[in-house]
A and B are shown apart, each in its own frame.
Chain A
Amino acid sequence: DVKVTQSSRYLVKRTGEKVFLECVQDMDHENMFWYRQDPGLGLRLIYFSYDVKMKEKGDIPEGYSVSREKKERFSLILESASTNQTSMYLCASSSQGPSYNEQFFGPGTRLTVL
């Protein structure tokens, strides 16, 4: 059973703080993704990674960075948190290749920036 876990379900931070969101998957997936989910806006891709130490910008990378030092772990970093980054953050992973496309999601982290 694929398992994607995220370090926190709920997080409250202050404006200007550096925030780390961690995601771990246990299925040896090559691809990992960070999404932001806001009501009415769906799932917006922030960054994704298709290999260790590789990263690609998604649609809304501004204000975020990522790190992938190990295959199973993908971190999202908010260098200086702002109130407009209050949101639900979802991590996902998937295998590569044309036959394996399902993205498996983590439970999400609800981040509030005060």
Chain B
Amino acid sequence: GENVEQHPSTLSVQEGDSAVIKCTYSDSASNYFPWYKQELGKRPQLIIDIRSNVGEKKDQRIAVTLNKTAKHFSLHITETQPEDSAVYFCAAREGRGSTLGRLYFGRGTQLTVWP
């Protein structure tokens, strides 16, 4: 099966700085890469996703890039704010038998934004 690795496990930034979280995956057939945000005491929620036929996607202050050749994808948050503080999970979906929708998650990154 797929194996997703996520780095760093913790990240602290000053408010207004940028934050970058990186993930690698093992299955070259994986075709969908979502990012989830989990605030303290709450459920994970999808914040952005990218499909394998796209190299970059942006939504206001967050962006995701995908390098299929290197099998890695990254989350970029610009102009960070204290409310960005949360655990962020990357995930990958297998390309084979893909209608089942199973996601393979990274271990998460605890992002702390200091005011």
Query: Per-residue CB proximity of B82-106 to A under 8 Å, as 1/0?
Result: 0000000100010000111111011
Q: Considering the chains assembled together, what is the distance between the CA atoms of A44 and B102 in angstroms?
A: 12
Q: Considering the chains assembled together, what is the distance between the CA atoms of A90 and B105 in angstroms?
A: 13
Q: Considering the chains assembled together, what is the distance between the CA atoms of A24 and B69 in angstroms?
A: 40
A41 within 8 Å of B by Cβ? yes
Q: Considering the chains assembled together, what is the distance between the CA atoms of A107 and B42 in angstroms?
A: 6
Judged by DSSP, the binding face of A is loop
Is the beta-carbon distance between A103 and B101 smaller than 8 angstroms?
A: yes
* Tally of contact residues, A, Cβ under 8 A: 25
Q: Which of B6, B34, B89, B98 contacts A98 (CB 8 A)?
A: B98
Is the beta-carbon distance between B45 and A105 smaller than 8 angstroms?
A: yes
Smallest distance from the beta carbon of B58 to chain A beta carbons, Å? 18
Is the beta-carbon distance between B93 and A108 smaller than 8 angstroms?
A: no
Q: Considering the chains assembled together, what is the distance between the CA atoms of A7 and B38 in angstroms?
A: 20
Using A102-B46, A105-B45 as known contacts, say yes or no to A45 and B102 having CB atoms under 8 A apart: yes
B42 partner residues in chain A, CB cutoff 8 A: 107
Is the beta-carbon distance between A96 and B99 smaller than 8 angstroms?
A: yes
Q: Which of B9, B31, B44 contacts A40 (CB 8 A)?
A: B9
